[in-house]
Amino acid sequence: MWTMPPALVLRRATLADAWPLWRLAHRDSRPLPVGPLAVAEVDGELVAAVSTATGESIAEPFRPTAALVDLRKRYAAGIHSAG
């Protein structure tokens, strides 16, 4: 049986992400990072976020998100440098 690999999307957070970000921070037992956020979605579910201003991040503790840490930070750095 063949299965599709998970779809990964990296993007800037929007106002529509407020509730998913709050829930993610709560699940990670960390405060929501300050400043504009870059988020990572896997199959449409927000699983990680990083502040483009401070580099602080939150991630879904019940999913394997460690591989996204470097990718998120590189994406956030690109957003920050692009203005």
- Digit-coded pLDDT (tens) for 47-63: 999 998 998 989 998 87
Q: What is the mean pLDDT of the chain?
A: 83
Q: What percent of the chain has pLDDT over 70?
A: 70
Q: Which of 29, 42, 30, 44 is nearest to 71 (CA)?
A: 42
Q: What are phi and psi of 28, to 5 degrees?
A: -85, -5
Report d(CA 66, CA 35) in Å as an integer. Answer: 22
pLDDT for residue 73 is more than 80: no
Query: Quick one: average pLDDT of 5-20?
Result: 89
The answer to whether 47 and 60 have CB atoms below 8 angstroms apart is: yes
Return the pLDDT at 29. 96
Alpha-helical runs (H) found in 2-67: 18-28
What is the side-by-side order of every strand in the sheet holding 8-12?
8-12, 37-42, 45-51, 57-59
pLDDT for residue 43 is more than 80: yes
